[in-house]
Amino acid sequence: MPESFKSIEFKNDKLVLINQTKLPLEEEYIATDNPERIAQAIEKLEVRGAPAIGIAAAYALALCFKNFNGNTQERFERCYKRLASTRPTAVNLFMALDELKKTFLESQNSQDLYSALLERAKELHEEDIKMCEAIAENGLSIFKKKSTVLTHCNTGQLATGGNGTAFNVIKKGFEEGKVEFVYVDETRPLLQGSRLTAFELGKAGIPFAIITDSTAGMLMKDGKIDLAITGADRIAINGDSANKIGTYGVAALCKFHNIPFYIAAPMSTVDFDCKNGDEIKIEFRAKEEITRIKGVPVTRDDYGVYSPAFDVTPAELIKGVITDKGIFHLPFNFTK
């Protein structure tokens, strides 16, 4: 029996987030009206996934004006800058902050600036819920038979304001009898696959198995994968897509084994100011995320570490990008 949960919710004038760093062993929730605490949650990956980051940041920017009576312009600029510094690769973060900026400029002299900003944050949240459902509906056509799917990282409810992007396509496919099994990469170094996607697959009642990232190629060689689908944190207008480190490897393996590789993301993830993947800024993470697991050393801390959070998959490796506006193929003529 599928189990329901909410990963991000605005309730009792506070933002309530499930602490993703504790999953799947513990379901702990963070309830706060402190914008700095939300910024820290984004940085610590307590909330993660490009759409969810944007929604959390929008609520945080609104909360900057809860019970505030000082210089609104100075306050806005400081809060905007702080939140913008949290995760530079996620285009949704800047989209959400800029939407709140528009509302701020329109309502700056309002008697209740907080309510105006909060209302816009709630609208963005609701829009994301609807986009997730549209992506899932549009994605059903990729399943040509009852399929075994490979996915990487986490793209479900934990990554969005709704039921997810790539995960929601898989979930809808399962409900329609088009998906029979899912292999989920553990997704090193932070194990978003084995911790988060596995948690969501279990909640949804979808049969699955966790694999190491390096197992995917063997499964493809043995004919056990019908298609692969992941999300994206930023998509250039030529189709080059940044996603969790390891995605490029999955896409390259799919190309070699003639397996369709898809990306699912809302149109808001397409950066129309970004020509190609070379222009995407890649975030680098602390070395301890590799040298330690849950704070426990697995190698020496004084060893050198190279730890990009994302890689860029070239457009020519992508069979299609599933969005709320439809499925786009090469040459990826995205439209706003």
Q: What percent of the chain has pLDDT over 90?
A: 90
Q: Give whole-number Cα distances, 131 to 118, 135, 190, in Å.
A: 20, 6, 27
Collapsing DSSP to helix, strand or coil, 301 comes out as coil
Identify whether the C-beta of residue 142 lies closer than 8 Å to the C-beta of residue 227. Answer: yes
Residues 202-230: pLDDT tens digits? 999 999 999 999 999 999 999 999 999 99
Selection from 265, 237, 234, 274 nearest residue 327 by Cα: 265
pLDDT greater than 80 at residue 69: yes
pLDDT greater than 70 at residue 50: yes
CA 333/CA 272 separation, integer angstroms: 11
Most confident of 2-6, 69-73, 167-171: 167-171
Per-residue pLDDT averaged across 298-325, rounded? 97
Tokens of 180: 């029979």
Q: What percent of the chain has pLDDT over 70?
A: 99
State the DSSP H helix or E strand holding residue 228, giving kind and residue range, or none if neither.
Answer: strand 227-230
Provide the annotated active-site residues: 233
Instruction: Kindly list the structural domains of the chain, giving each domain's residue range(s) and its CATH number in brackets, ordered by start.
Output: 8-133 (1.20.120.420), 138-328 (3.40.50.10470)
